[in-house]
Amino acid sequence: MAAQTAAPHAAAVHAAMAVAAAFETWVECLLIESPDVLALTRHPFARTVSHAGRIAPLSLEGFAEAQSSATARARNMLRTAGQHSNVRVETTIVQDGITDALARACAIEGPWNLMALAEPVQPKDSRWLCELLAEVNGATGIVCAGTSVGPPARRGSAVLVVVEDIERLPQMLRAAERLARDNAPAAGARPVLLLVAGESAEKSALIDGHLRLLMADMPADPAAPIGIAEAGVAHGTPIEIAEALRRQNAHVVILRCGGIALPANGDAAPLLGVVSSPMLVVR
Amino acid sequence: MAFWRGQKAKSGESSSGSAPDSGVSNGSVSSGSVAISGVSKWTQGLRNLTGGAAVDSPLPLPVSELRRIVDPASLGFTTTADVTPIRGLIGQERAMAAIEFGTEMRAMDYNIFVLGPPASGKRTALKTQLDAKAAKSVAPDDWAYVYNFEEPSHPRALRLPAGRARLLARAMIGAIDELRGIVPALFEGEDFQSRRRAIDATYQAGQEQALEALNKKAAAQNIAILRTPQGFALAPMHEGKVVKPETFNALPDAMRTEKQAQIAALEEELSKILERLPKSEKERRGKIGELTQEMARAAVTAALEDVAAAFADVPAVISHLNDAGEDLVRNIALFVPSGDGEASTEIREPSDAVRDPRYRRYLINVMVGQTAATDTPPPTGAPVIEEINPVYGNLIGRIEHVAQGGSLLTDFLLMKPGALHKANGGYLLIDARRLLLSPFAYEALKRALKACEIRIEPPAETSGMGVVPQTLDPEAIPLDIKVILTGERDIYYQLAEHDPDFLGLFKVQADFDDAIARSPANDLAYAGVIASIISEHKLKAADASGVARMIEEGARLADDREKLSVEIGYISDLVREADYWAGKAGRTIISHDDVQKAVDAQIQRADRIKDRAQETVERGVVLVDTDGAKVGQVNGLAVMQVGQFMFGRPSRITARVAIGQGRIVDVEREAKLGGATHTKGMMILYGFIAGRYAQEVPLALGATITFEQSYGGVDGDSASSTEIYALLSALADAPIKQGFAVTGSVNQWGEVQAIGGANHKIEGFFDVCKARGLTGTQGVLIPQANVQHLMLREDIVAACKAGTFRIFAVSTIDQGIEILTGIPAGDRGSDGTYPAATINGRVEARLRGFAERARSFGKSAGGSPSTDGLQS
């Protein structure tokens, strides 16, 4: 998980913990302190503009104190989130850019299976998101939350998989099953819903057909069957796909980077501004 | 009527008329005459002493005067099956007319106090009458309390037509449940979400655009906007890195100055953008708020429109619905699930509006609501409520509290109605004694009646005592009620005397009588009441002998043979117990013997104390003589009451005399065992003695009179004649026949006056004599005025009939002393003195002797006798 030490976003942290718990792994947190700010404090004219618009001098001491408080708060929050989800959390403070820090961390500790962003992504950040996914070595996906992600109580219960092609479906289904089992209500696991999304009606129908064949051949796990059902077929523009996703009100959405829903060129604003569930974005 | 043979003899005169029993002929007395053979030596001796004047021997009362017997045949029926039952009461026309009047006087100060003895059936009769009247009355309005949205601590009272308050309450619950269902979906729905997103997007886009523009502008100037824990910072950049100070300082001054100015300008711009954010955010929230209100109003209006339509004819309800609707719109968030983070996944919504504390203020607290459903006709009839536990809260209503976090909290739903609410528009029956025994209750009732309103407030607040937790001040409800208090007479009279408000609020007294006059018609009416009791309790029928015996017992209960007790409770008990005994005897009809058995069994169950008292007399622990004669000693009679059981008991009264200063010492009073009435009797006694014997000679008498072996206190003047007899006996040195017992009050003229409990007193002495064996010389003297009250036991009547016991009625002390001593009382002669051989003469002589000795003693000792009266 990577976070700038301003303030980790609660929904994003929760999503990360939930995924970690589902995959029975632990979470390594990088609290990234910008070296640029540290350098800036040495300038006599350095000032800060607070969120309320107040301008004040920026001193090294003041910055260090504020940084220390923010770091402590972030650590506390992450530790609490980890305890709540029964996930081991280790925190490291680094001074680097995000991508550099992530790359260095991978080099030291080995590549991550999954990367989580502790800050919400803005609608305009889809390209950056995809670039980040491309750059982070080893990670199969990124867990992120948009600016409109709400509390878990307001979300539905299903794990929704956006099926835009068949090749990634088995990988995504495995991830979905893991997420469906973890944190599930005592009465049973969450259902997994498959939303077929294509550029056109014909393409969607084709994907749907392949999906049905694949589902028919897939053996069910007799120990803990997960209910898998089709949520529907959507097609069209990212806006239309995003709306279809929003209506499902899933607990978590699994989709691929660079598809229709989350294009690599930044047109994911409708998705990121509409979907109220955290997302597991896969390569 | 006194029974004397011939005329009372005066001194020097011969008796007129014949005396068959005594054999005395008119005129002279001859010792050899056969005619006087029947006269006792004692009587003859008296005649000799009186100069031949005949002594009239008084006659005991005839048997017919001792008990008024009902002839079963006179009743005119065989069994009560032939009698039309009389429901309700008899002989209570006065009281029932008062109740009728009081219930029809529609004024808040014409409440009713029903007074009378217990078991008189007044409550039952009252309830029957009220039920009948209430059934024909209009049902009163319903009342409810609702939340006051402007002043929550002052709940508002809502008046609704009868039967509709509960409908309104149900309708509001339905409306709230409807909102619970539709509001979450409404705010999750596409319409609201898309419009909200549009608002968010507008404001966010504005912010983002501004920041994005600033970013670009800064980037164009090689200035980066960095995020820090304190906010943002602008730094000069070169090739993606912040320029170090030493590098920056090495730049030309102009460049450095320009860069700093650029940074400062961008900081200002950024500051302005950030300053606008809160205002922008406020605007955004405002827009969302307007959107929320718009959606909420539509939902609330839809939910309440059916309720409003159903109560369109009740303006107060419409007003309340408007207020509630506005509040619902303002607080629509109450209906949206909260969901506040990871921990909220297990939030359970309460199952319905009634149990959810968030919606309490929209509910209706029905205080008085006639049961009604939409498909039944509206209720009719006024309420008749009997409050059997009239404590403050049950009467006025109460505001309950719940403990929460160490505090006591309340709201309008925790207000509970009292009896005044339930009876509003109708009638409220309360037992006066219970009301007065309940703290604050009576005062609260009076306040409500005077103000014509019901105001619920904690008693601690009205009394100014105690700590009052957070409470409410609800709107008062107008009161239109008729209060009927029931109680005994002493309560009524005490209230009338000591409470200045009482008579102003309870202007109608319904006075239930104890008894009705005996008459053939009333005897039959009594039979009708008995038939009614039998019918009500499904008892065996009673034959005429049984009814006759019950009527006699009714007279006995009234303690007056000219009356019948109308204390229906006791009569009912008697009938039911007679039924029991008839069943025990295997009879299917209640007869005389069953009733007698019931009476005897009642006595037997209650007379343990009487038996113990009797035993003390029989065993000689308490000294009571029943034969022989003694000077200065008389058997007095007292009535004891233990619970509801009364019995008579003889008590020895003695008098001793000596020379004194005209004082008659009341030992009971001196020992502080005498009550005021007894003291009065003793003073009257002194007045009689002084008035009769101290006109010419000072009263040099010192006397003491006491109730022997009495330690529990004495009151009443029914023994004052007895005390006079003892004193006269002591003064005259004339023995009193101990086979007699005496009761009777006396006035200063020596006239014997009526007393109470004559029957019990006679029976008490009879039982003592009977236990020792009746001699034929025993009996009781009672006042003449009490003859009409006699309803003696049948065994006493039988004894009198057999001549083994006698009852004498006297009107004067002189008559009584003659019976008790056998010596003529004597009349004052023309010379102002009494004949020497009479009681009066002997008393006069004794007192003169006292006076002369006192004078001579006084002369020799230097003192003089005084004429003080009773020792004060």
- Mean pLDDT over the full length of chain B: 86
CB pairs under 8 A between A and B: 127
CA–CA gap between residue B748 and residue B720 (Å, rounded)? 11
CA distance B345 to chain A (A): 5
CB A53 to CB B344 under 8 A? no
- Which residue has 């003694």 as its token pair? B630
CA–CA gap between residue B9 and residue B19 (Å, rounded)? 13
CA–CA gap between residue B243 and residue B249 (Å, rounded)? 10
| pLDDT value of position B125 | 82
Q: Kindly state whether B233 is in contact with chain A, defined as any CB-CB distance less than 8 angstroms.
A: yes
CA–CA gap between residue B428 and residue B421 (Å, rounded)? 10
CB B230 to CB A43 under 8 A? no
CB B260 to CB A67 under 8 A? no
CB A49 to CB B338 under 8 A? no
Interior angle at CA B210, CA B206 and CA B212, nearest 5: 115
CA distance B408 to chain A (A): 33
- Give the mean model confidence (pLDDT) for residues B412-418: 94
Residue that wins the pLDDT comparison between A64 and B745:
B745
**Helices (H), ranges, B559-662:** 568-584, 592-606, 608-618
What is the full DSSP assignment across A136-167? SSS--EEEE-BTT---GGGS-S-EEEEES-ST
CB A66 to CB B229 under 8 A? yes
Q: Is the predicted ipTM greater than 0.85, yes or no?
A: no
Is 80 exceeded by the pLDDT of residue B650?
yes
CB B233 to CB A46 under 8 A? yes
Question: So which residues of B are the catalytic ones?
Answer: 718, 761
- Give the mean model confidence (pLDDT) for residues B313-326: 96
Q: Specify the range with the lowest mean pLDDT, choosing from A4-18, B230-244, B504-518, B632-646.
A: A4-18
Q: Which residues of A touch B236 (CB under 8 A)?
A: 43
| pLDDT value of position B464 | 65
CB A49 to CB B233 under 8 A? yes
Q: pLDDT tens across A32-49, in order?
A: 777 778 888 888 888 999
Name the pLDDT band for B345 (thresholds 50, 70, 90). very low
CB B271 to CB A51 under 8 A? no
Half-sphere exposure of B175 (CA within 13 A, CB side): 27
Q: Which residues of B touch A6 (CB under 8 A)?
A: 227-229
Sheet holding B112-115, edge to edge: B384-387, B427-431, B482-487, B112-115, B508-511
| pLDDT value of position A218 | 67
Q: Which residues of A touch B274 (CB under 8 A)?
A: 49-53
DSSP-derived secondary structure letter, B7:
P
Measured from the Cβ of residue B97, the count of other Cβ atoms closer than 10 Å reads: 11
Out of 3.40.1360.10, 3.40.50.1000, 3.40.50.2020, 3.30.230.10, which CATH number does the structure's domain B612-823+834-861 have? 3.30.230.10
What does DSSP say about strands B629-631 and B735-737: parallel, antiparallel, or unpaired? antiparallel
Q: Which residues 177-206 of B are in CB contact (within 8 Å) with A?
A: 188, 190, 193, 197, 201
| pLDDT value of position B352 | 67
Q: pLDDT tens across B399-408, in order?
A: 998 888 888 8
**Among chain A residues, CA nearest to B262:** A45
CB B271 to CB A154 under 8 A? no
| pLDDT value of position B477 | 96
Nearest C-alpha neighbor of A248 from the set A204, A205, A279: A279
Q: Which residues 344-403 of B are in CB contact (within 8 Å) with A?
A: 344-345, 347
Is 60 exceeded by the pLDDT of residue B316?
yes
CA distance A244 to chain B (A): 12
Question: For the purposes of burial, counting CB atoms within 10 Å of the CB of B81, is it exposed (0-12), middle (13-18) or buried (19 or more)?
Answer: middle
Name the pLDDT band for B498 (thresholds 50, 70, 90). very high
Q: pLDDT tens across B105-114, in order?
A: 988 899 999 9
Name the pLDDT band for B563 (thresholds 50, 70, 90). very high
Is 90 exceeded by the pLDDT of residue B116?
no
Nearest C-alpha neighbor of B472 from the set B152, B144, B157: B152
Nearest C-alpha neighbor of B398 from the set B383, B371, B419: B419
The architecture (CATH level 2) of B99-138+381-511 comes to 3-Layer(aba) Sandwich (3.40)
| pLDDT value of position B461 | 61
Say whether A244 sits in a helix, a strand or coil.
helix
| pLDDT value of position B57 | 53
Q: Specify the range with the lowest mean pLDDT, choosing from B4-13, B105-114, B143-152, B331-340.
A: B4-13
User: B28: phi > 0 → left, psi -120 to 50 → alpha, else beta; which?
Assistant: beta
Name the pLDDT band for B382 (thresholds 50, 70, 90). very high
Is 50 exceeded by the pLDDT of residue B756?
yes
Task: Give the residues across from B647 on adjacent strands.
Answer: B640
Weakly modelled stretches of chain A, pLDDT under 70: 1-7, 99, 109-111, 123-124, 137-138, 147-155, 182-189, 218-231, 266-267, 274
**Among chain A residues, CA nearest to B231:** A50
Q: Which of B263, B278, B337 sits opposite A153 (nearest CB)?
A: B337
DSSP-derived secondary structure letter, B748:
T
The whole-angstrom distance between residue A199's C-alpha and the CA centroid of its chain comes to 24
CB B340 to CB A42 under 8 A? no
A34-50: buried (b, 16+ CB within 10 Å) or exposed (e) per residue? bebbbbbbebebbbbbe
**Residue ranges of domains in chain A, CATH in brackets:** 2-119 (3.40.50), 146-282 (3.40.50.620)
Q: pLDDT tens across A159-205, in order?
A: 888 888 878 887 888 888 778 775 555 445 677 888 888 878 888 88
Nearest C-alpha neighbor of B359 from the set B189, B187, B169, B188: B169
Q: pLDDT tens across B269-289, in order?
A: 999 988 888 788 888 889 998
Q: Specify the range with the lowest mean pLDDT, choosing from B34-48, B198-212, B449-463, B650-664.
A: B34-48
Residue spans per domain, chain B: 1-39+47-57, 72-88+515-606, 99-138+381-511, 164-311+325-341, 612-823+834-861
B232-253: buried (b, 16+ CB within 10 Å) or exposed (e) per residue? bbbbbbeeeebbebeebeeeee
Interface mutation vs chain B, best among A14, A43, A73, A183, most B CBs within 10 Å: A43
Q: Which residues of A touch B338 (CB under 8 A)?
A: 153
Q: Which of B193, B267, B275 sits opposite A52 (nearest CB)?
A: B275
Interface mutation vs chain A, best among B196, B225, B230, B232, most A CBs within 10 Å: B230
Q: Which residues of B touch A37 (CB under 8 A)?
A: 226-228, 233, 235
Q: Kindly state whether B232 is in contact with chain A, defined as any CB-CB distance less than 8 angstroms.
A: yes
Q: H-helix or E-strand containing B156? A: strand B156-160
User: B76: phi > 0 → left, psi -120 to 50 → alpha, else beta; which?
Assistant: left
> Cα dihedral sign for B193, B195, B200, B201?
positive
- Reading the block at residue B220, the tokens are 């164009």
CB A42 to CB B245 under 8 A? yes
Nearest C-alpha neighbor of A117 from the set A222, A198, A204, A12: A12
Q: To the nearest whole percent, how much of chain B has pLDDT over 70?
A: 88
The architecture (CATH level 2) of B72-88+515-606 comes to Orthogonal Bundle (1.10)
The architecture (CATH level 2) of B164-311+325-341 comes to Up-down Bundle (1.20)
Encode B483-520 in three state secondary structure.
EEEEECHHHHHHHHHHCCCHHHHECEEEECCCEEECCH
- Same fold across B72-88+515-606 and B164-311+325-341: no
Residue that wins the pLDDT comparison between B371 and B577:
B577
Q: To the nearest whole percent, how much of chain B has pLDDT over 90?
A: 60
Residue that wins the pLDDT comparison between A103 and B655:
B655
